[in-house]
């Protein structure tokens, strides 16, 4: 009987791995091959066939740092390929080689680290290549003190899986087990995570399991990684439920377990799970949940699975005992869209489904704006209610990589709306009953754009990317588009850190710090209970009232997105203003906080005011 491959949460079995004694083993899924050889320098090591299309060799010698390739004999053709599960990649004379990297060599200092509860996450999303001048993991480490002082409790890295060239958002990766070499590769990633934990900051890693990049993609030589049964915006769908799908599912589960176990990542953000097409009885995400939970039982550390989903279907975030898939949380684009329209965003493209403060109130009250009603943009009824899901299962933002980069020129909010509206939008996110996410630089009103960029080699592919971007923005502005391939487009996205200490940017930074401090220090704001709140649009004004309460306190959060001051009649009780975004110290025009007079307050244009009461 042939030897079998089996997932084991305790160790990474797929690809090349080392024992504590330094001996190596290698497992490869290549059901298309009739013969497989592992080439290490001048040595050719034949692999043995195992059940299910796997090949293996165990207990052999290879030095850490050596390069190796896989020789596939498929029908009458011989192909030299890198290991699909490589932990490091080297390009030499135009050819790709795998590097023998051992993640177990790193000596961790975070043995007592457990990480914050998901409800305590205040997420800072960043792109490694543009966050710092260095464009590396070490470049982030040098600013961890800044992020801790800001109040950030979790950093979310855009995808770091090895991609072609040195410039990419990360969603064109083809080696999901290898940390991008231009960022510092695997050992530098481990040091970065260790340093984050030393600063009491969790790490969320954005992973892409719904597609692979188009360049250096040799996966089809190994096996049926793709299926023609479905199509995605990126072409062929990854095979999660067609013939041969077991090997594909194991590939991604091994990947997730590796990030948690060997790199001490705290949470994964799974990109666009609506493009994971799976009609199996047990969805891939359910199987992933089971395996991650098995790892958590071994390590004693909870690992979170966060999804990006365009489905408005809470079954994905409901636990298995309620018939759900068991994901911990999801991004909510609808909150963003409603907020942006409230702040004056034109109702073009997908914004056409959102009316502004009316829908923003729905987002606060119901999480999903569309819960089964007709969507004009989609041309059908869409969504379902998410009544019983707590606020800790929803991540909201006024900006993120998609929503900035989805603009043709990658303009940030600082280049689109006034400073007053930026402060209102920040308050709308950070004082919400959901998990807030900031996009790098927004806290000091960074002016540099974040356009889309790549560094492909193939001329036809480069032109295809350019023409695809032009077509994508036909409903938006008609102006010259930055060339995604040009190095200047990438360089234009680098943060200008000098701004953070210069007025008025330093005042915006102080305001963000105050908002985050208020969220952490106020019991009502740190409690993500969605049942004790009510949001309502204010008639005849572009404004919204968000009420939050418990047995001891009530908060009234008044947001005025409009161009005119708004008188607002308050209820009974002695209230105190604890935040006024119009103060000079935050970059506003007022030296004194607006006062409550005869149970009425004037909410200035483009401002947010927070009032506290001792009881309901």
Contacts of 119 by beta carbon, 8 Å cutoff, 6+ apart = 390, 391, 392, 435, 526, 528
Long-range contacts of 568-571 (CB under 8 A, 24+ apart): 568/538, 568/600, 568/601, 568/602, 568/603, 569/599, 569/600, 570/596, 570/599, 570/600, 570/601, 570/611, 571/599
The catalytically annotated residue of 271, 278, 286, 446 is 271
Annotated binding site: 269-274, 333-337, 401-406
Q: What are phi and psi of 107, to 5 degrees?
A: -100, 105
Annotated binding site for substrate: 269-274, 333-337, 401-406
- Cα–Cα distance measured from residue 39 to residue 46, given in angstroms and rounded to the nearest whole number: 9
Contacts of 77 by beta carbon, 8 Å cutoff, 6+ apart = none
CB half-sphere exposure, 335, CA atoms < 13 A: 28
Long-range contacts of 234-239 (CB under 8 A, 24+ apart): 234/210, 234/275, 235/211, 237/210, 237/211, 237/275, 237/277, 238/209, 238/210, 238/211, 238/212, 238/276, 238/277
CB atoms within 10 A of CB 297: 9
**CA nearest to 16, candidates 45, 34, 479, 32:** 45
Long-range contacts of 227-236 (CB under 8 A, 24+ apart): 227/277, 229/277, 230/277, 232/275, 232/277, 233/275, 234/210, 234/275, 235/211
Mutual angle of helices 245-262 and 284-299, in 10-degree steps: 30
The catalytically annotated residue of 308, 353, 446, 580 is 308
Contacts of 471 by beta carbon, 8 Å cutoff, 6+ apart = none
| CA distances from residue 358 to 249, 333, 354, 396, 543 in whole angstroms, order as listed | 42, 16, 9, 17, 9
- Cα–Cα distance measured from residue 440 to residue 126, given in angstroms and rounded to the nearest whole number: 5
HEC readout, 148-177: HHHCCCEEEECCCEECCCCCCCCCCCCEEE
110 is catalytic: no
**CA nearest to 568, candidates 583, 582, 578, 558:** 558
Q: Are strands 95-99 and 67-74 parallel, antiparallel or unpaired?
A: antiparallel
Q: Do residues 330 and 394 lie in contact, with contact meaning Cβ atoms separated by under 8 Å? A: yes
CB half-sphere exposure, 85, CA atoms < 13 A: 25
DSSP 251-319: HHHHHHHHHHHHS---EEEETTGGG----SSS-HHHHHHHHHHHHHHHHS---EEEEE-SS--GGGTS-
271 is catalytic: yes
Contacts of 497 by beta carbon, 8 Å cutoff, 6+ apart = 143
Residues known to be catalytic? 271, 308
């Amino acid at each position: 009987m042939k030897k079998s491959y089996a997932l084991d949460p305790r160790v990474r079995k797929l690809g090349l791995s080392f024992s504590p004694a330094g001996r190596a083993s290698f497992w490869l899924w290549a059901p298309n091959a009739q013969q497989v050889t592992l080439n290490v320098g001048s040595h050719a090591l034949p692999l043995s066939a195992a059940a299910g299309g796997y090949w293996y060799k165990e207990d052999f010698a290879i030095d850490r740092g050596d390069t190796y390739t896989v020789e596939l004999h498929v029908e009458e053709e011989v192909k030299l390929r890198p290991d699909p599960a490589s932990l490091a990649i080297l390009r030499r004379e135009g050819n790709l080689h795998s590097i023998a990297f051992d993640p177990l060599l790193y000596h961790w200092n975070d043995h007592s680290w457990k990480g914050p509860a998901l409800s305590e996450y205040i997420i800072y999303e960043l792109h490694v290549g543009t966050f710092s001048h260095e464009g590396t993991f070490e470049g982030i480490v040098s600013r961890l003190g800044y992020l801790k002082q800001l109040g950030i409790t979790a950093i979310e890295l855009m995808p770091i899986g090895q991609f072609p060239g040195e410039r990419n958002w990360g969603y064109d990766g083809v080696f999901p087990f290898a940390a991008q070499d231009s960022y510092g590769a695997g050992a530098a990633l481990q040091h970065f995570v260790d340093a984050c934990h030393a600063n009491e900051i969790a790490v969320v890693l954005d992973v892409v399991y719904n597609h692979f990049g188009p360049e250096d993609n040799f996966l089809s030589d190994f096996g049926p990684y793709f299926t023609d049964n479905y199509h995605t915006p990126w072409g062929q769908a990854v095979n999660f439920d067609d013939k041969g799908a077991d090997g594909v599912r194991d590939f991604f589960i091994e990947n997730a377990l590796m990030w948690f176990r060997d790199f001490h990542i705290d949470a994964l953000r799974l990109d666009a799970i609506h493009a994971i097409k799976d009609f199996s009885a047990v969805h891939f995400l359910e199987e992933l949940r089971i395996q991650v939970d098995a790892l958590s039982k071994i390590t004693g550390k909870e690992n979170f699975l966060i999804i990006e989903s365009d489905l408005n279907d809470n079954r994905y975030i409901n636990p298995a005992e309620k018939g759900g898939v068991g994901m911990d949380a999801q991004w909510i684009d609808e909150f963003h869209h409603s907020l942006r329209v409230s702040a004056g965003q034109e109702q073009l493209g997908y914004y056409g489904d959102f009316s502004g403060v009316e829908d923003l109130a729905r987002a606060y009250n119901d999480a999903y704006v569309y819960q089964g009603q007709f969507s004009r943009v989609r041309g059908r009824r869409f969504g379902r209610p998410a009544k019983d899901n707590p606020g800790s299962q929803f991540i909201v933002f006024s900006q993120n990589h998609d929503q900035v980069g989805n603009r043709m020129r990658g303009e940030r909010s600082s280049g689109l709306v006034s400073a007053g509206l930026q402060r209102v939008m920040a308050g709308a996110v950070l004082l919400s009953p959901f998990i807030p996410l900031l996009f790098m630089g927004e806290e000091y009103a960074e002016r540099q754009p974040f356009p889309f960029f790549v560094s492909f080699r193939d001329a036809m592919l480069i032109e295809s990317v350019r023409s695809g971007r032009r077509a994508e923005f036909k409903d938006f502005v008609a102006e010259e588009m930055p060339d995604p391939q040009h190095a200047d487009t990438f360089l234009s996205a680098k943060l200008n850190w000098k701004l953070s200490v210069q007025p008025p940017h330093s005042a915006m930074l102080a305001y963000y710090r105050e908002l985050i401090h208020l969220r952490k220090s106020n019991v009502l704001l740190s409690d993500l209970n969605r049942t004790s709140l009510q949001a309502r649009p204010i008639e005849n004004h572009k404004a919204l009232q968000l009420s939050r309460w418990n047995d001891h306190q009530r908060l009234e959060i008044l947001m005025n997105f409009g161009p005119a001051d708004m008188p607002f009649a308050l209820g009974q009780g002695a209230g105190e203003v604890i935040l006024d975004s119009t103060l000079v110290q935050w970059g506003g025009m007022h030296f004194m906080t607006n006062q409550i007079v005869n149970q009425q307050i004037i909410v200035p244009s483009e401002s947010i005011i927070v009032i506290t009461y001792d009881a309901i």
